[in-house]
Structures are given as C-alpha cells and as structure tokens.
Chains A and B, each alone.
Chain A
C-alpha cells in the first residue's frame, strides 16, 4: 500500500484522498484508545484499490492527459534507475552546451548494453526550471542524435523514453535551428542501423516527441497521450479559446487506445491500478518486460531489413481518397 504523506491528488482522485484521510483518522484513534482497528483499516485499503480501479476505468481523454502530467508520475530518470543497471549518463552535444531537458547514456538491460535516451522533467520548482519542464532545445536533440550515433557505432540498441510537452519555443532555440535539429533526428533515426524501441511514458507532444520518436517498435503506456499538438494549444488555435481543451483532447483521439487502434503505435503498456504514480516498482517491472520483449522481436532482423520496415511502416500512415486518374497535361 503506497504511503499517504506528500501524495498529490488530481480533482478526480479526491475520493481516494478522502479514504486515505479516513485511514489516518482510524490509525490515530487506534493509537489513542489502544483498540485494534486493523480490520477496518484493511477494508479501507481495499476500498482505495477499488476506487483507483473505478476511476481509471472511466477516464475521459482529458483526464488521461492530466494523469500523464500527474506531479507524482515517474519520469525518465526514475525508470532508468528502476529498469536498467550500470547507467552512465553522458552529456553534451559537442557544439553548444548540455541540455538538461534531455538525458541519456549507456546502461544495461538484463545484462545487455543499450543506449537509453529521454526527456527529463524536474520534480520541484528548482529542478523543473533546470530541466526546462522537459522541453528540449536544439542541443538536446543533437545530444540525443550524438548518443544514437555512438550506439550505432558500437552496435547497441537504442531505447527512447518520451515525456515532453513539446520542443522549447524560444528565441535561442530558433537561432540554433530547432526545426532542423528535429528534422535531422527524424531522418537519421529512420536510417539508424541498430534496433530502436520507443516508449511514450508521459506526454508525447508533436515534433518535440517525434524528434526522439522514430523506431522499430513504439510502445505507449496506458495513461499517456501522443499527438500533433497539446489539447490546450489546439483549443486556442481551432476553437480560439483556451477553455475547450477537454473537447480538443476528445477530438484529437490522443489516448493509447486510439493510437493503437489507428496502428500508429504498436503496443499499450499497462500501468499499476490507478496509474504509474501509485507504484513505481510495479510500473517499471511491467515496462521492463515490454521493452525486453520488443527488443527481442526486432533484434534478429538484419539492419537493412529493419530500415526498410521502418520506411514502409511510416509510409503506410495516413488516410486519403483516391479517385480515378484523369490525364492532366497543362499546356
């Protein structure tokens, strides 16, 4: 049973908070009056689990977005430390600086060396600023590419963990070519000779996500979102108001179930009941298993085959009508 202190609750998680508070009260009374209340407490603990289940069963797309941004949700570094061993972080793009919003380095997954890369968010005000809220600058994407090329050189698979509200829209970012950096990464990832497994572990916002998001297998955790624009920005542009984010989230079809249904991601990774923030260990154990399985599936293929498969896979994405051809010579 996860501990109560310092836990944060979203609006729709409030019933769980109430249950926790009841437990606290009971514990307090038990201590005071020396009455055994273990039974009532364990009943309430069961009720918490049931509530967690209930809540996640009926989530709206917008609530999923909220869960993906849950302040207690595990971020990239948490997963790296729980899933991999012997992680050595590598820094810098060898050009401008070290982007703290993007982390990466060699690590071992079940005794096999891999390169793991991902956006990193902060856990308090200070680190959030340091990590720029998980919004990478061009040097972050270039660092990621440098590490991927390093992995390619030594024939190690690449694992990317995506959690970003988008690439940073800043002045320096534009000066240093944010568009070019993302474009280059997408292009190079398509051609990378080693296996690539992508996991959306939180927010998967647009080009900022795809900049480290092209691979052989794309996994999406249950309570995450992945699409072309954040629901808030979409609302502000298409509805001309910031208040339609719930509708935008619905219309964008950004949940893992939708994305799997469209064939745009390969697999959904289940999370502990109520979301990954309820149990880091369990979330990491499930994810580890899925990454390992995905890797085993793509590793036996020849490098050229993987690249061809990638081009074909992305080539099939899209929908259109094709009407009969009419010769159209313009003279």
Chain B
C-alpha cells in the first residue's frame, strides 16, 4: 500500500525548516519524558545522514551506506529519495570527476527584502550551515567518456528556488555548451521562483528561455530531467522546454502546487495526480528513468544525438 506523501511545497520556498504540522490528538499510551527527536522529517529526507534511514513511502529501514550504495533509492519500494547536486554529480560523472563552473556567482539582497527574516540574513545563514553557494550548481565532466554540461539544483537552498543566480548560471552554462559544442542536462528540483527577488526572479523565465533558443540554434541537445519536486517557474520555463523532458519515477511535477489547486477547486486530488507517471500519460514526458539507469540512458542519448 503506497502512502501518499502530503507536503506543503510552498513552505520550502521560505527557506525555513518546516515544523511538523500539528496533527490530530490521539490518546497517549506512553508520554515522552524529554523531546528526543528534534530533526524535522523534511531534513531527514534531504540528506540521509546517520546510521539508519527509513523510507518515507514504505517505512523500510536500512543503513545509510546501503541506501547510498543503492543510489538513494529504496531497495524495497523503489522510492527515490531526494538528493542534491553532490550526489547527482557522483552518480552521473565518470569516477566522480568533474569541473565545477561559475561557482563564483552568488546571490545578494538587492531589494533589501524582509519578510519574517531579512533575505541577506537568510542567505548568510544557509552559507554558514551548508557548503552550497546557491540553489544551482553547474559542472562539466564525462559520462562513459562523453563530455556533458550538467546544471543541477539543490532543494536544500531555499527550496531550490529560481533567482538571479540560477538564471545567470543557467545562461553561462548554455554559453559554455555552445562554445565547446556540448550537450546540456538540467536536473530540476525546485518549488519555483524565489519571491525574495520579486520581479527579477520572474524575468529569469524569459532570460533562460532566450538562452535556450540560442542553444537550439547551435543544434545542441538539451535534456531536462525533472525530479521530486519541480514546480512553478521551473515548469513554466526551461523545465518543460527540453528537446527531451524526462523524469525520475514518482516525482511531483506541476505548475501550481497541490495545496493551491485543492483550495481552488475545493475537491480532493486524484491519487497519482502530478506524479511523473501522470505526466507521461498526459504526454508531457518522453520517458521516466530510474536513477540506477540514469547514467546509461544519458550516455545512450548522447551517442544517439551524435551519431
């Protein structure tokens, strides 16, 4: 029995850790003397650390090293855990060897945007907590000997949100592909546009699309890999504009988030709504690829495009 995971995707865009939603109160058999578990479940999914890992879908428990060996895919139910650029680069590039590009571009708080927290402060906090500089990393390396540029999002960084830095890195990656005649893969995992950059983040949709048209003129292949979750500005721009649009199994992909749709239509959403399989059925994906076959499939595609 598959458990539908319910998650407030928008909440990730705040850049805050999500607290566990207050559920219904159940009669207690035992009471906790002190609060033992302080990490939120969202955190646990993102970076499986520690000795043990539990699958959020089937509750299968295995060691994290086993999970890592299995490319962060549940060996029981094939659930694809959320992973970041570091893991994707390791999975895809030969011998985990690659050159990171444009990592000198960093976000700044141009608008002095303050919600519950100041944007600059938010950025500084994430910088001090993680090694990530922004929500997208670009690298060039080889896949079974074939060179390729990969831009990969990190959901950990303000929900993988699309801001000026992602737009600029994306654009420079396109320029790099054109200059070196290389194919381009973008791995999306994002809640949408970065609200703290206001209209500037919206304009990244036009900016990246413009660059893609140059890539297209250069007749270089662009593959868009959509992973769990991909929403908003990403799906309304380069996420859906691949020469090939592909996705990992079971990924939530859409324009509007499930919560917003539910509130608008005031009905429950059908099971499997906005999952990869749903998108494939409705004709928006070329195919769904298992993480374990990802590298081989990509290599095959590059060869096919070349030959």
A interface list, Cβ under 8 A from B: 167-171, 173-180, 182-184, 186-187, 190-191, 206-207, 210-211, 214, 226-229, 234, 236-240, 248, 251-254, 259, 262, 264, 310-311, 314-315, 317-326, 328-331
Contacts and interface: CB of A to CB of B under 8 A. Distances in A.
B193 A170 contact: no
A234 B197 CA distance: 12
Nearest to B9: A237
5 contacts: A174-B274, A177-B284, A179-B254, A326-B104, A331-B97
A326 B100 CA distance: 10
Given A169-B256, A169-B260, A183 B207 contact: no
B157 interface: no
Contact of A237 (B168, B195, B274): B195
The 8 A-B residue pairs with the shortest CB-CB distance in the complex, in nearest-first order? A179-B235, A318-B164, A169-B256, A311-B210, A238-B115, A179-B255, A178-B255, A319-B110
A207 B110 contact: no
A214 B274 contact: no
B255 A191 contact: no
Given A177-B283, A252-B199, A315-B171, 14 more contacts: A169-B260, A174-B274, A175-B282, A178-B254, A178-B256, A179-B254, A186-B206, A190-B210, A190-B213, A207-B233, A252-B195, A253-B198, A320-B164, A330-B99
Contact of B195 (A226, A228, A314): A228
A112 B108 CA distance: 46
B139 interface: yes
B199 A228 contact: yes
A317 B203 contact: yes
B116 interface: yes
A186 B209 contact: yes
A248 B198 CA distance: 10
Contacts of A228: 193, 195, 197-199, 201-202, 233
Interface residues of B, number: 73
Nearest to A319: B110
B72 interface: no
A320 B105 contact: yes
Interface string B114-136: 11100000000000000000000
A331 B94 CA distance: 10
A184 B13 CA distance: 25
Given A174-B254, A210-B205, A238 B107 contact: no
A251 B10 CA distance: 18
A317 B207 CA distance: 7
B91 interface: no
Nearest to B191: A237
Contacts of A171: 261, 265, 267, 269, 273
A183 B105 CA distance: 25
Nearest to B113: A251
A174 B14 CA distance: 24
A207 B255 contact: yes
A324 B104 contact: yes
Interface centre among A171, A237, A318 (most CB of B within 10 A): A318
Interface string B204-219: 1111011111100000
A319 B108 contact: yes
Contacts of B267: 171
B105 A264 contact: no
B184 interface: no
B235 A183 contact: yes
B240 interface: yes
A179 B239 contact: yes
Interface string B86-103: 000100000011111001
B59 interface: no
B111 interface: yes
Contacts of A210: 202, 205-206, 236
B154 to A, nearest CB: 15
B84 interface: no
A62 to B, nearest CB: 15
B14 A237 contact: yes
A318 B89 CA distance: 27
Contact of A229 (B100, B168, B195): B195
B195 A318 contact: no
A207 B202 contact: yes
Contact of B111 (A180, A182, A253): A253
B42 to A, nearest CB: 16
B237 interface: yes
A169 B264 contact: yes
Given A169-B264, A170-B261, A320-B165, A182 B255 contact: yes
Interface in B161-208: 163-165, 167-168, 171, 193, 195-207
A104 to B, nearest CB: 20
Nearest to B12: A237
B116 A239 contact: yes
A190 B209 CA distance: 8
A329 B261 CA distance: 44
Given A254-B199, A264-B203, A330-B96, A320 B106 contact: yes
A252 B139 CA distance: 33
B109 to A, nearest CB: 9
Contacts of B249: none
A227 B282 contact: no
Nearest to B202: A228
Contacts of A328: 99-100, 103
